[in-house]
């Protein structure tokens, strides 16, 4: 990081950390230690309740939407506290939830995702209002007019496919926000205005 700072002193530097994941030893993540490096300007986390095992679209016991929201808020609070102790702002660089019923089709409803985003974005707004160390949040991920190839069983991205915001090695459309997702866009726009 010192080398990067010697090349460019006009930009902030971060690691792109996902935070204290469910398996820090496997992921190799020690959030406090990694972000305590003086050249690191701010901390980052990602919040994906599906991937963390906190949410199941079939409302499995222990993995309902209210439980996932509570766990996500606790995760945010934990990382905000660590970031504040390091005197560095926290940025949630990816916040997402799958479409209703875990479906990836663009026509599937987004009511659970919209509720999740409302709850978490409201929490971030509270933190900002209290002067807590949260510097911002980004939802995951904008697909716009892009749509996944519907004729492929693996749903991965291949050269020539439209971009959907999901990494190429993951099922396309999993967390995508499409141009037609008016309710999701309203949630995001309302937060951005605040």
The pLDDT tens digits along the chain (194 residues) read 567 777 888 888 898 888 987 654 555 578 999 999 998 999 999 999 998 999 998 888 889 999 999 999 999 999 999 999 999 999 999 999 999 988 888 899 999 999 999 999 999 999 999 999 998 999 999 999 999 987 788 888 999 999 998 888 888 988 999 999 999 999 999 999 98
pTM: 0.91
Distance separating alpha carbons of residues 75 and 54, to the nearest angstrom: 11
| Cα torsion angle, 62, 64, 67, 72, sign | positive
Q: Please list, in sequence order, all residues whose beta carbon lies within 8 angstroms of the beta carbon of residue 73, skipping any fewer than 6 positions away.
A: 119, 120, 123
**What distances in angstroms separate CA 95 from CA 4, 46, 161, one per listed residue?**
27, 6, 24
- Token couple for 146: 């892009």
- Token couple for 15: 């690691």
Asked if 140 and 98 count as a contact pair (C-beta separation under 8 A), the reply is no
User: How many secondary structure helices (H) and strands (E) does the chain include?
Assistant: 7, 5
**What distances in angstroms separate CA 130 from CA 23, 45, 127, 142, 159, one per listed residue?**
31, 20, 5, 29, 46
């Amino acid at each position: 990081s010192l080398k990067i700072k010697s090349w460019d002193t006009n930009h902030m530097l971060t690691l792109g950390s996902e935070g204290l994941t469910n398996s820090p030893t496997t992921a190799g993540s020690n959030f406090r230690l990694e972000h305590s490096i003086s050249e690191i300007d701010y901390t980052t986390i990602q919040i994906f309740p599906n991937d963390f095992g906190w949410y199941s679209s079939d409302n499995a016991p222990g993995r309902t939407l209210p439980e996932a929201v509570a766990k996500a808020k606790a995760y945010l609070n934990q990382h905000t506290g660590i970031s504040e102790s390091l005197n560095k702002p926290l940025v949630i660089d990816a916040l997402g939830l799958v479409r209703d019923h875990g479906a990836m089709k663009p026509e599937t409803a987004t009511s659970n995702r919209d509720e999740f985003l409302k709850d978490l974005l409201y929490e971030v707004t509270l933190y900002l209002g209290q002067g807590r160390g949260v510097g911002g949040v980004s939802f995951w991920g904008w697909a716009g007019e892009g749509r996944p190839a519907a004729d492929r069983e693996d749903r991965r991205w291949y050269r020539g496919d439209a971009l959907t915001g999901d990494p190429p090695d993951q099922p396309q459309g999993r967390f995508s926000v499409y141009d037609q997702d008016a309710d999701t866009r309203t949630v995001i726009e309302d937060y951005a205005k605040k």
